[in-house]
Amino acid sequence: MDETAARAALEALIAERGESYAALSRMLGRNAAYLQQFVKRGSPRRLDERDRTLLARYFGVAGAVLGGPDAAELVPVPRLDIGASAGPGRIADDGAVRQMALDPALLRRLGVRAAAASMIRVEGSSMEPTLADGDAILIDGDRRRPGSRAALFVLRGPAGVQVKRLRLLGDTIEIASDNPEAPSPRLHPAAEVDVVGRVVWLSRALV
């Protein structure tokens, strides 16, 4: 489906349901004029993947109706049925693995190979406001080495599976939380930190 058809479909759904452009835009966390500009002016040119998914779920239609790929084009990505703790950590095995269907365009935009992608649920509050309890995060298993600039990673250790902000400092890795009320950052020898992969995307629409 081209974007002209996607705009027409969204406009028809909004009119049919008696919805407000402004209210739907705010539901997406956007400015009040966001959806009206998309439909009437063609800006943005394409809906963000997260926004399209939220709107499709809200209206109860397939994502393809609003410009997403057909189901046959989606890429299966394993979703671990456990949580990556954003708190003190928890002991967990690998849990059950389910398949999550993602838009291949999203993976290409993020530079993630489908074979290296996986999703996991966030638990706890220590990474707020960046990550909230219940968020679904996409992990790139090809990116397992932190750099000098801090970034979000999932790691596994004696405390269990965690999502934290990691930074490489010489031969050590700083492990930190984003919540100012969480414990202070701690340093660990880099060789002892088992990094699962880098967090490259989150969705509150997939929980």
pLDDT digits (tens, 9 = 90+) for 81-92: 656 655 544 434
Contact criterion met (CB below 8 Å) for 109 and 75: no
In this structure, what token pair is assigned to residue 66?
A: 């609003």
CA distance 89 to 73: 36
- The residues near 199 (Cβ < 8 Å, ≥ 6 apart) are 131, 137, 138, 139, 151, 152, 153, 154, 163
- pTM for this one? 0.67
Determine the pLDDT at residue 68: 77
Residue 138 pairs with which residues in a beta bridge?
119, 201
The region, left, alpha or beta by phi > 0 then psi within -120 to 50, assigned to residue 95 is left
Token pair 């063609």 is found at: 42
The predicted-structure confidence for 88-104, as pLDDT tens digits, reads as follows 444 344 555 677 777 78
For the chain, list residues with pLDDT below 50.
88-93, 205-207
Determine the pLDDT at residue 193: 92
